[in-house]
Amino acid sequence: MQKTSLFQSFNFMQSANNDKLSSDHNLEAMWHFSQTYAKRTGTYFCAEPSVTAVVIEGLAKHKDDLGSPLCPCRHYEDKKAEVHATFWNCPCVPMRERKECHCMLFLTPDNEFAGEKQEITLEEIKAVRESMG
Ligand code: SF4
């Protein structure tokens, strides 16, 4: 993935979430999920932690609004229908089958954007989240 598309996705998610931020309850749930899943799959968070934070916030917001953590990096005509179809509920099918996370939440070690961490603090996520509100 090119650097430009990484930051385009990042900007898209920021603007998509500006109306209302996630609840603390689902933010913490998706924070726990992300760390556990990264460790289980041997994947790493992005070297730029704000990318990780924005994706976790997006997942939590979808869990608030739709009841499921629909992937936050895609455009949907009908979000409820997508939740029902399950393909893009996180962890999505491309991630489960091939470790492909186009949101750059879960990166394989050979990815040029991968950092060395499978953990992020809730404070880091909340700081980014507040800057989005
Ligand atoms: S691309 Fe898949 S694994 Fe990555 S955040 Fe979206 S749904 Fe989750």
Q: Which of 18-27, 31-40, 46-55 has the lowest mean pLDDT?
A: 18-27
With 0-12 CB in 10 A as exposed, 13-18 as middle and 19+ as buried, what is 29?
middle
Find the 91 Cα to ligand 1 centroid distance in Å.
5
* pLDDT average, residue stretch 107-132: 96
Residue 80 backbone phi and psi in degrees, to 5: -65, -40
Contacts of 63 by beta carbon, 8 Å cutoff, 6+ apart: 22, 26, 29, 30, 69
- pLDDT reported for residue 10: 54
- pLDDT reported for residue 20: 84
To the query of whether residue 92 is one of the catalytic residues in this protein, the response is no
Taking Cα atoms as reference points, which of 45, 46, 86, 92 lies closest to residue 67?
86
Please, what is the end-to-end C-alpha distance for the chain in angstroms? 28
Please state the atom number of ligand 1 nearest to the C-alpha of residue 89: 7
- Which strand (E) or helix (H) includes residue 64? helix 49-66
Whether pTM exceeds 0.75:
yes
Please state the atom number of ligand 1 nearest to the C-alpha of residue 72: 6
Q: Is the predicted pLDDT of residue 111 greater than 60, yes or no?
A: yes
Give the side-chain half-sphere CA count within 13 A for 61: 21
Beta-bridge mates of residue 107: 44
Residue of 10, 36, 95, 96 with the most ligand 1 atoms within 8 Å of its CB, for mutation: 95
